[in-house]
Amino acid sequence: MNKKAFATAVASVAVAGTIAAPAMADETATTPVEQAQQAVEQAQQAVDQAAAQPTTQPQQDQVAAAQQAVTDAKTSLDQATAGTQQAQQQVQQAQAGVQQAQQNV
């Protein structure tokens, strides 16, 4: 596996693993979750490219480790996305409660 592909995979996974908050920008902006999804996809592509090249055993071990890191990043991203969706639902419920309370006043 070449160093560039491995570095790309590791950097992308590191970026993806740190994403957990919803975007505070307008709807046309790329959200942190979308950025993380792109990073995970790029890391997966880098790992796939590295795995397709003939390698020695230590390099195969690095490819396997990178693949596991991508899998872990995908899992973390899925959890962050689910948490974001749950938080958005709770905000909507709270807003509905506020509106109901205002109508009752």
pLDDT in tens, 59-80: 888 888 888 888 888 888 888 8
Instruction: Return mean pLDDT, the chain.
Output: 76
Give the pTM: 0.56
Scan for tokens 């995970």, then name that residue: 40
Max alpha carbon distance in the chain (Å)?
A: 73
pLDDT in the model for residue 25:
45
Burial (0-12, 13-18, 19+ Cβ within 10 Å), 58? exposed
Tell me the one-letter amino acid at 37: Q
Contacts of 2 (CB under 8 A, 6+ apart): 50, 53
Does the pLDDT of residue 7 top 80, yes or no? no
- The answer to whether 12 and 40 have CB atoms below 8 angstroms apart is yes
Q: Which of 17, 12, 10 is nearest to 77 (CA)?
A: 17
Both tokens of residue 55? 């390698």
Check residues 4 and 38 and name the one with the higher pLDDT.
38
Q: Which of 40, 41, 47 is nearest to 7 (CA)?
A: 47
The domain total for the chain is 1
Domain residue limits at 43 = 3-21+29-104
- Please report, rounded to a whole number, the percentage of residues in the chain having pLDDT higher than 90: 1
- Region 47-56: what's the mean pLDDT? 82
pLDDT in the model for residue 34:
82
